[in-house]
A and B are shown apart, each in its own frame.
Chain A
């Protein structure tokens, strides 16, 4: 596995994300403690854990927002230690905090991010209309984002994050604060994206959402304590729901979940 880090080898292996012994320390505190995992193309990978378990920190390292203290990782064929700018061109990201510009109109937000990711100028307008049509947002094209309801904002943010057809999209607790119907709706969009070959890396609190994932990892105190398909995990822990699996593992936590 030593040759990993070059574009060719990872593609041969078919892994879109590959991490080995990733570690992040803030002073004496180890936020992420030597985690290793692999994710295949088109997979929906659930990244679970209690608050403070280290999910967001791990995700920030993979997206190039944060430098690992030690360990190796490859995302979309590029080394996270040295090629973070390359990675950024090939991923989409939707953060916990809703991060579209509230004082820009719907189409202006789409245009901005499309432009940033280098979508050719001629394609932006027709593809925007197409997207708005698919979302049923035609009437909201000229609405300022701040006046949209939260559920719509999240759908829009997700659509913007994958507008440039990235290899991977990172979703950091994308469905916080919306009702179950909107959440189901949102997951349908995630499936559509995965069908198009976009790998989805998603962190979540909701255990029912964990069931939707192809594979799930559960972080406890900065380590990955379990990683498998939801079905295998339930069998392994002799549980009927992912919720039980999670509680079983989370009980071991020594960190204060604050």
Chain B
């Protein structure tokens, strides 16, 4: 019996004018366009400099800032007010005010104040920008100090050279952080969202009622709905994996088999979630809203955009209720750190737990009878 139902689902899927295209387009779009958009990388901070001094030292400082790679000096304004206007109109992100006699003061060893003002509406950008700039100023200051004091042969003390090393992603490429998460997004849409819409669609058109008076059991009916989408999920995942490999040269450090293994467990869990939705929604519109609602919550609690460690305590606790947390973690671990199955047993069991929970709920809430 299952075979006839499967035949039907596959024919309907292939014949649909939209779905097959979507299964190809979705991972392509997600992998090609999204990494360009979902980019929190902070570079090219626009800086407006107010140089009241115009000395050799202030020029040197500006050069040092420019050569750091973080800043783009967009304007040299005459007054603080002028520079402030630049910041207000979003032409500059930060301003640096160098006081009169800056050069003279530091050459004589007198300390001097400079003002950094950053637009912190975007807190990350403002915060990072000002700490980058502060660090540059400190270095500059140390440089000058050593030059002046060298003749006195004082112990310098400030001579630690701090060498940052970034493991797993030495160039700090933000795409490598996003791509594993985007793969999961694609999987979630294909394995959870699409079958739910399909079932609600049958509800709306009344064909599900016809099915309910036949001897088709609920397991068979649901299984026939899910199997094609699982297959399609693997196709979409494979497209995503290939794109990330060919376009970004991004290969998993660990075994790709592990990725697929975790992905299949996730699909099982998330299609269960889709089923739960389809049991409660009466129309497609309702289904879309419910899925939108939960998807948003799950994603935000998953560490998709920002690490879970940065969340408030209650957020960290809640994050355990998002299946996305565990799957995104695992795929990132395999892709970036080369972890194997044995390293990620807790994540795998968590996903199993979700699979049991959602599918169990789906079976219990599915009513062939009213």
Docked-complex contact A116 and B1, CB < 8 angstroms: yes
Q: How far is the CA of A108 from the CA of B209 in the complex (A)?
A: 19
Assess A89 versus B369: contact at CB under 8 Å? Given A99-B207, A101-B12, A108-B11.
Answer: no
* In the complex, chain B residues whose CB is within 8 Å of the CB of A170: 213
Q: Is A217 an interface residue (CB 8 A)?
A: no
CB-based nearest B residue for A102: B205
Q: Is B249 an interface residue (CB 8 A)?
A: no
Q: How far is the CA of A95 from the CA of B212 in the complex (A)?
A: 11
Q: Is A65 an interface residue (CB 8 A)?
A: yes
Of the listed stretches B2-10, B31-39, B228-236, chain A binds: B2-10
Docked-complex contact B214 and A88, CB < 8 angstroms: yes
CB-based nearest B residue for A111: B4
Docked-complex contact B215 and A112, CB < 8 angstroms: no
Docked-complex contact B207 and A112, CB < 8 angstroms: no
* In the complex, chain B residues whose CB is within 8 Å of the CB of A222: none
Assess A67 versus B207: contact at CB under 8 Å? Given A112-B8, A118-B1, A118-B215.
Answer: no
Docked-complex contact B369 and A65, CB < 8 angstroms: yes
Q: Is A14 an interface residue (CB 8 A)?
A: no
Q: How far is the CA of A64 from the CA of B215 in the complex (A)?
A: 10
Docked-complex contact B1 and A113, CB < 8 angstroms: no
* In the complex, chain A residues whose CB is within 8 Å of the CB of B210: 93, 95, 99-100
Q: How far is the CA of A65 from the CA of B4 in the complex (A)?
A: 22
Assess A65 versus B12: contact at CB under 8 Å? Given A95-B209, A115-B3, A116-B216.
Answer: no
CB-based nearest B residue for A59: B213
* In the complex, chain A residues whose CB is within 8 Å of the CB of B215: 85, 88-89, 116-118
Docked-complex contact A99 and B209, CB < 8 angstroms: yes
Q: Is B16 an interface residue (CB 8 A)?
A: yes
Q: SS class of chain B's interface: helix, strand, loop or mixed? A: helix
Which of A63, A89, A99, A114 neighbours the largest number of chain B CB atoms within 10 Å of its CB? A99
Docked-complex contact B16 and A113, CB < 8 angstroms: no
Which of B4, B205, B212 neighbours the largest number of chain A CB atoms within 10 Å of its CB? B4
Contact pattern, B 109-148, Cβ under 8 Å of A = 1, otherwise 0: 0000000000000000000000000000000000000000
Assess A66 versus B370: contact at CB under 8 Å? Given A88-B214, A101-B12, A104-B12.
Answer: yes
* In the complex, chain B residues whose CB is within 8 Å of the CB of A117: 214-215
Assess A112 versus B213: contact at CB under 8 Å? Given A65-B369, A101-B207, A104-B12.
Answer: no
Q: How far is the CA of A112 from the CA of B210 in the complex (A)?
A: 12
Docked-complex contact A103 and B212, CB < 8 angstroms: no
Assess A108 versus B1: contact at CB under 8 Å? Given A64-B369, A99-B209, A103-B15.
Answer: no
Q: How far is the CA of A117 from the CA of B5 in the complex (A)?
A: 11
Q: How far is the CA of A114 from the CA of B7 in the complex (A)?
A: 13
Our pick among A65, A91, A113, A114 for the contact of B370 (Cβ within 8 Å) is: A65
Give residues of chain A (65-102) contacting chain B, Cβ–Cβ below 8 Å.
65-67, 84-85, 88-89, 91, 93, 95, 97-102
Assess A115 versus B4: contact at CB under 8 Å? Given A89-B215, A104-B11.
Answer: yes
Our pick among A67, A102, A115 for the contact of B1 (Cβ within 8 Å) is: A115
CB-based nearest A residue for B13: A103
* In the complex, chain A residues whose CB is within 8 Å of the CB of B12: 101, 103-104
* In the complex, chain B residues whose CB is within 8 Å of the CB of A60: 370
* In the complex, chain A residues whose CB is within 8 Å of the CB of B205: 97, 99, 102
CB-based nearest B residue for A109: B8
* In the complex, chain A residues whose CB is within 8 Å of the CB of B368: 65
Q: Shortest beta-carbon distance, A44 to chain B, in Å?
A: 20
Docked-complex contact A103 and B16, CB < 8 angstroms: yes
Q: How far is the CA of A85 from the CA of B368 in the complex (A)?
A: 10
Docked-complex contact B214 and A65, CB < 8 angstroms: no
Q: Shortest beta-carbon distance, B111 to chain A, in Å?
A: 79
Q: How far is the CA of A101 from the CA of B8 in the complex (A)?
A: 9
Which of B1, B217, B370 neighbours the largest number of chain A CB atoms within 10 Å of its CB? B370
* In the complex, chain A residues whose CB is within 8 Å of the CB of B4: 111-112, 114-116
Q: How far is the CA of A66 from the CA of B214 in the complex (A)?
A: 14
Q: Is B206 an interface residue (CB 8 A)?
A: yes
Q: How far is the CA of A67 from the CA of B368 in the complex (A)?
A: 10
CB-based nearest B residue for A86: B215
Docked-complex contact B5 and A91, CB < 8 angstroms: no
CB-based nearest A residue for B207: A99
Docked-complex contact A66 and B369, CB < 8 angstroms: yes
Docked-complex contact A112 and B209, CB < 8 angstroms: no
* In the complex, chain A residues whose CB is within 8 Å of the CB of B209: 65, 95, 97, 99
Q: How far is the CA of A89 from the CA of B1 in the complex (A)?
A: 13
Our pick among B8, B15, B213 for the contact of A88 (Cβ within 8 Å) is: B213
* In the complex, chain B residues whose CB is within 8 Å of the CB of A108: 7-8, 11
Give residues of chain A (218-237) contacting chain B, Cβ–Cβ below 8 Å.
none
Q: How far is the CA of A170 from the CA of B210 in the complex (A)?
A: 11
* In the complex, chain B residues whose CB is within 8 Å of the CB of A89: 215
Q: How far is the CA of A104 from the CA of B212 in the complex (A)?
A: 19
Assess A113 versus B214: contact at CB under 8 Å? Given A65-B369, A101-B8, A118-B1.
Answer: yes
* In the complex, chain A residues whose CB is within 8 Å of the CB of B8: 101, 104, 108, 112
Q: How far is the CA of A244 from the CA of B7 in the complex (A)?
A: 50
Docked-complex contact B206 and A97, CB < 8 angstroms: yes
* In the complex, chain A residues whose CB is within 8 Å of the CB of B1: 115-116, 118
Q: Shortest beta-carbon distance, A86 to chain B, in Å?
A: 9
Beyond known contacts A60-B370, A93-B210, A118-B215: 5 more, CB 8 A cutoff: A65-B213, A99-B206, A99-B207, A103-B12, A116-B4
**Interchain residue pairs A-B with the least CB separation, the first 4:** A115-B4, A97-B206, A99-B210, A93-B213
| 10 residue pairs A–B, Cβ–Cβ below 8 Å | A64-B369, A65-B368, A65-B369, A66-B369, A88-B214, A99-B207, A101-B12, A102-B205, A104-B12, A115-B5
